Every structure is written in C-alpha cells, then in structure tokens.
Amino acid sequence: MGVVPAGTATTAVPASTGRPYVLLSCATSIDGYIDDATEQRLLLSNTEDMDRIDAVRAGCDAILVGAGTIRADDPRLVVRSARLRAARQAAGLSPSPVKVTMTARGLLDPAARFFTVGDAEKIVYCAGPAVDKTTELLAGAATVVDAGDPLDPARALADLAGRGVERLMVEGGATVHAQFLTAGLADELHLVVAPFFVGDRRAPRFVGDGAFPWHPGRRARVAEVRQIGDVVLVRYALSERCADG
Ligand SMILES: NC(=O)c1ccc[n+]([C@@H]2O[C@H](COP(=O)([O-])OP(=O)(O)OC[C@H]3O[C@@H](n4cnc5c(N)ncnc54)[C@H](OP(=O)(O)O)[C@@H]3O)[C@@H](O)[C@H]2O)c1
C-alpha cells in the first residue's frame, strides 16, 4: 500500500494513464436494489459480512463513495476493528484508509461523518466550476481537487495514484458504480446478495442503464462465491489484474 500526504490544497489534475487497483463493493436485495425508498438506510449485509467488509477496507489505501451516498447515508467509512486499525498503524499507515468523494455541485455538509470521523486524509474531487465554493465550504475539513469539467473519474484515479494510492475500494452509490463500470475502471466487484426483496421501483438499483463492458457476448469471470451467514458474496474478476481465491 502507498502513503498519501496530508494537507489542504486545490490542485488541477493532470491527465494520466496510471490508476490504482479498483475494487467495487456493493450489497443488493434479491431483486437488485441497494436501498429502499425511505429516508432510513436499509441494512442489507449481516454482522459477519460487515466484518469482512471491514477487513477489505483495512487492506485498501483509500475508500471512495459518491456525494449522493454521503448525503443519503452519512457513512463513517472507517475501519471499525481495533485489531485491524492497530495492524495498519504497525505497518506505518493511518488507522483507516484515506476517504475520497466526487461531486459536481459541491453540495456537501462539512458536518457529515465522512469529514468529521477519523484522522485519515479526506479528498474531494470536484468539477471545476464548483471548486472555489467547495474549497471555501470545506476549509480545513478536506483537500478539494479540481478534477476538470466535466469531472472525469479516470483523472481522479490518476491523481490518487500520484498521491500513493495503490488500492482503492469504491463503496457506491449507484451513480458512481455505474461510472466506474461503464468506463472500464474496475478490476474487481464484490457483490453481496441479501435474502429478501425490496420490490419498490422508487428505490435505487445497483446500477441504472448504461453500456457495460460485460454483456451477453462478454461475460465476466467469477473469481469466488462464498456464503456468509444468510448472504452470498460473489467476487467478479473484471480485469486481468484480479486474482482468483
Ligand atoms: N447497498 C450498497 O452497497 C450501497 C452502497 C452505497 C450507497 N448505497 C445507496 O446508494 C444511494 C446513493 O446513490 P446515488 O447514485 O444517489 O449517489 P452516489 O453514486 O453515491 O453519488 C452520486 C453523486 O456523486 C457525484 N458524482 C458522481 N460522479 C460524478 C462525476 N463524474 N462528476 C461529478 N460528480 C459526480 C454527484 O454529486 P453532486 O450531486 O454533489 O454533484 C452525484 O450526484 C443511496 O440510497 C445509498 O443508500 C448503497
């Protein structure tokens, strides 16, 4: 794993081909929903699976969610296990990975737990027109990076690579996952299926419409299937970089 320097700065991102290893993580209902239509966050994983997710987080340099997930779920995005935090620190890393988000409009609350919980660096990739406003809004809470107009996830990944991020976990939501998948910017997908239906088309699904690189004529490779209590994890290999097992 790499190391990301701390500090609050606004930087223009150069175009580059280098990017971290990108692992997408998502939990769905049997009918493919990632949430319900209520204000409350829908619990899809179980305790054992959340421990697995914690370990995956601990093995990454950075965790990314979209601004929509910060607004909807107010996630903390830190490693919960004291043992895993201690192991990271023993390896010279911050207790939890760097937190990363993307926004076009800059509608982020500096009081959100993304910004207030944990000592790790927080990086906000922002579309050019909203950079000044967002930098002012998040002063002292995050590093705001001008990622162009429109914001290009590939450029954000190149910038993360430049900051020493070698392994990135993308935890949603639907918009962000769809962008990384359709742009061919994912190496691995961890898809957890919870044993119930949501059955409400007002709720968000894993991804919406799009031209995905994996379709009936090009099937993704299953790297692993694992039952974890009452949920099932399927690990899809989406690039040659993804190993089996
Ligand atoms: N089940 C799961 O595993 C899981 C995990 C995470 C989230 N979720 C659910 O997912 C839902 C949220 O999904 P979502 O699609 O609304 O939100 P999202 O994907 O988390 O974030 C979308 C937002 O990110 C910003 N963004 C994304 N790509 C961008 C780009 N290329 N350029 C500029 N800005 C970009 C925009 O923010 P601005 O609007 O600020 O411009 C956009 O509105 C919630 O219901 C949440 O509970 C489920």
Q: pLDDT, tens digit, for every residue of 25-72?
A: 999 999 999 999 999 999 999 999 999 999 999 999 999 999 999 999
The answer to whether the CB of 61 falls within 8 A of the CB of 1 is: yes
For residue 108, give the ligand 1 atom closest to its CA: 40
Q: For a pocket test of ligand 1, which of 124, 144, 175 has the largest count of ligand atoms closer than 8 A to its C-beta?
A: 175
Interval 130-162: pLDDT, tens: 999 999 999 999 999 999 999 999 999 999 999
- What pTM does this model have? 0.94
Whether ligand 1 lies within 6 angstroms of the CB of 69 is answered as yes
- Residue located nearest, by CA, to atom 41 of ligand 1: 104
Q: Is the CB–ligand 1 distance for residue 75 below 6 Å? A: no
Contact of 115 with 122, CB cutoff 8 Å: yes
Instruction: Indicate whether residue 62 lines ligand 1 (CB < 6 A).
Output: no
Could you give the maximum distance between any two Cα atoms of the chain, in Å? 49
